[in-house]
């Protein structure tokens, strides 16, 4: 079974530039998550999709961040314009939808390391 | 909202020895799940072990086991017979419904 794919793996941009990250979840996984992981911290959820609908984007800085999952499969996360504090690893994860009382496991991609200079 | 606290930024263990990583959480929910994730230097986060809050029995997965104290809201991870490949960042996480909350992580070093 192929894992969660992310690209690019690394990106360096200057502040005020734009950047986009791509994620392809595991086939059949309805739920997709984007996390921001700043160095030395745990992952922070930015946005969660269930199929192509947004379940939670309460921690997404909507003035500069946007995300979409148009066909309910792969997803893009965009930052426009970037700030220095956006330097972080952006993790994508996917999971099957929760069924009954069973917990569902998140499968993570390798992440995209963004450096804003 | 839930909070997850890992009070040990760094831990070390001698190879073949046992180490315990601490985690406390705060939630007002009655139905939730707890997880330990491992993040090696390659940064691919993988699940180590999970615990359903309604189960009293502590989860065990080979060399990994948890000590789940629901009343104290404590969820520690014990790694027995530590191996060099266990060296990584370990994150404690809680899940209620759709939300996942992660701690700040514990960096584990395994000394040969």
Task: Report pLDDT digits (tens) over A11-40.
Answer: 999 999 999 999 999 998 888 999 999 988
What is the model's pLDDT at position B100? 82
What is the model's pLDDT at position B1? 64
A33 chain-B contacts, CB cut-off 8 A: 100
Nearest to B107 by CA among B83, B87, B80: B87
The verdict on A53 touching B (C-beta cutoff 8 Å) is: no
Mean predicted lDDT score pLDDT of chain A: 90
Residue A51 has pLDDT above 90, yes or no: no
Average pLDDT over residues A51-57: 88
Residues 9 through 48 of chain B touching chain A, CB cutoff 8 Å: 33, 35, 37, 42-47
Residue in the structure block whose two tokens are 């192929």 = A2
Q: A73: Cβ–Cβ under 8 A, 6 or more apart, which residues?
A: A24, A25
Q: Which of B37, B44, B103 sits opposite A110 (nearest CB)?
A: B44
What is the model's pLDDT at position B24? 97
Residue A99 has pLDDT above 60, yes or no: no
What residues of chain B score a pLDDT lower than 50?
Answer: none
pLDDT interval class at A101 (50, 70, 90): very low
The verdict on A41 touching B (C-beta cutoff 8 Å) is: yes
Residue A98 has pLDDT above 70, yes or no: no
* Contact assignment for B45 to A55 by CB distance below 8 Å: no
Give the strand pairing for B10-14 and B106-111: parallel
Q: B40: Cβ–Cβ under 8 A, 6 or more apart, which residues?
A: B87, B88, B89
Residues 60 through 99 of chain B touching chain A, CB cutoff 8 Å: 91, 93, 95, 97-99
The verdict on A40 touching B (C-beta cutoff 8 Å) is: yes
* Contact assignment for B52 to A48 by CB distance below 8 Å: no
Residue A1 has pLDDT above 80, yes or no: no
DSSP code for A58: T
């Amino acid at each position: 079974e192929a894992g969660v794919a992310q690209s690019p793996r690394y990106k360096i941009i200057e502040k005020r530039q734009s950047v986009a990250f791509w994620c392809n979840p595991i086939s059949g996984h309805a739920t997709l998550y984007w996390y921001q992981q700043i160095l030395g911290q745990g992952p922070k959820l930015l946005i969660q999709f269930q199929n192509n609908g947004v379940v939670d984007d309460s921690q997404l800085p909507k003035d500069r961040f946007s995300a979409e999952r148009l066909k309910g499969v792969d997803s893009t996360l965009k930052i426009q314009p970037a700030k220095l504090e956006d330097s972080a690893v952006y993790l994508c994860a996917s999971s099957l939808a929760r069924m009954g009382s069973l917990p569902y496991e998140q499968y993570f991609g390798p992440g995209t390391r963004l450096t804003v200079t | 909202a839930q909070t997850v606290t890992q009070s040990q930024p760094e831990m070390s263990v001698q190879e073949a020895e046992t180490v315990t990583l601490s985690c406390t959480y705060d939630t007002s929910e009655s139905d939730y799940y707890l997880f330990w994730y491992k993040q090696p230097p390659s940064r691919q986060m993988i699940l180590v072990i999970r615990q359903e809050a309604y189960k009293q029995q502590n989860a065990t997965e080979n060399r990994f086991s948890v000590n789940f104290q629901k009343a104290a809201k404590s969820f520690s991870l014990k790694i027995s017979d530590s191996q060099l490949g266990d060296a990584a960042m370990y994150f404690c996480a809680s899940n209620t419904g759709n939300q996942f909350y992660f701690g700040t992580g514990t960096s584990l070093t395994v000394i040969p």
